[in-house]
Amino acid sequence: MEDLFKDCYAFRWDGSHLEEIHFYEKVKSSDLIGIDEQKKLVIKNIESFINEGIALNMLLWGERGCGKSSLVNMLLNEYHNKGLRIIEFSQEKIETIYQLFKILRPQEKHRFILFFDDISFDDQDIFYRKFKSIMEGGLESKPTNIIYVATSNKRHLITDKVFDTESVSHYDRDEINEAISLYARFGLVIGFYPIKRNTYLDICKKYMKEYGIEEWEGWEKEAESFAINRGGRTGRVAKQFAIYKKIFGN
């Protein structure tokens, strides 16, 4: 099993086996513009994990396209040579996590991120209870060479309900509080927020340069209109703008 982790850095857990991932986006730290504070926190946590063996589980939450998953890819790209490995884990497979523990626990040379991408639950979802139970820890402890990293568009991971003391029973409030409290199981909760105009334009310029597109008079206004038509400024939209101009020109 050691050979499996020697030459491959990313995997997908299918519920019973590890599937190798050889093609993934190789993101560099310099590629991520406008999220310096988020990068600083994540990097410090991961470097502690690699060097000292201790780290906090991380929840990266915020709007789509703001760099959450790209930041995780950056960690793999820049720290795989120090023993970091990432395993993509579907929330629907949460009951099989102890099988994966048996595989990873003996791998003392490596540190593993169990990556739950874009997780969310509704108020009737049984998975959030199982997920929270796993994170709280049962009789079998989590291996020390593993941390959980999740991304979500919602800070509290499930749909929040607005209630008052007249309309909601104590039982309902307990259920809601239990569901919302799942995010508290992550020791490091990092928010990703809509980016400002100048940051958005800087990201546009980065991708325009990458695709060999020269700046032209009025491109900023066009980039802004492109973002408005797609729901707002994000790094993803900035990249889409550059690709659009590469294909269709001015």
Backbone phi, then psi, for 159, in 5-degree steps?
A: -65, 120
Nearest to 226 by CA among 208, 238, 218: 238
DSSP string, 192-245: E-PPPHHHHHHHHHHHHHHTT----TTHHHHHHHHHHHTTS--HHHHHHHHHHH
Residues 59/185, Cβ–Cβ less than 8 Å: no
Coil, strand or helix: which one is 46?
helix
Four-point Cα dihedral 112, 143, 88, 15, nearest 10? 140
Apex 62 CA angle, 94 and 73, nearest 5: 65
Four-point Cα dihedral 37, 42, 43, 48, nearest 10? 130
Residue 121: pLDDT band by 50, 70, 90 thresholds? low
Share of the chain above pLDDT 90, in %: 65
What average pLDDT score do residues 196-218 get?
96
Which pLDDT belongs to residue 131? 76
Q: Report d(CA 179, CA 47) in Å as an integer.
A: 31
Q: How far is CA 192 from CA 66, 68, 208, in A?
A: 6, 7, 24
Higher pLDDT, 170 or 50: 50
Query: Strand ranges (DSSP E) for 68-167?
Result: 84-89, 111-116, 146-152
Which pLDDT belongs to residue 164? 43
What average pLDDT score do residues 29-49 get?
95
* Structure tokens belonging to residue 46: 């991961």
Q: Which residues of 187-203 are buried (b: 16+ CB within 10 A; e: fewer)?
A: ebbbebeebeeebbbeb
Residues 60/192, Cβ–Cβ less than 8 Å: yes
pLDDT digits (tens, 9 = 90+) for 55-109: 999 999 988 888 999 999 999 999 999 999 999 998 888 889 999 999 999 999 9
Mean pLDDT of the residues in the chain: 86
Position 157 pLDDT exceeds 80:
no
Quote the pTM value: 0.85
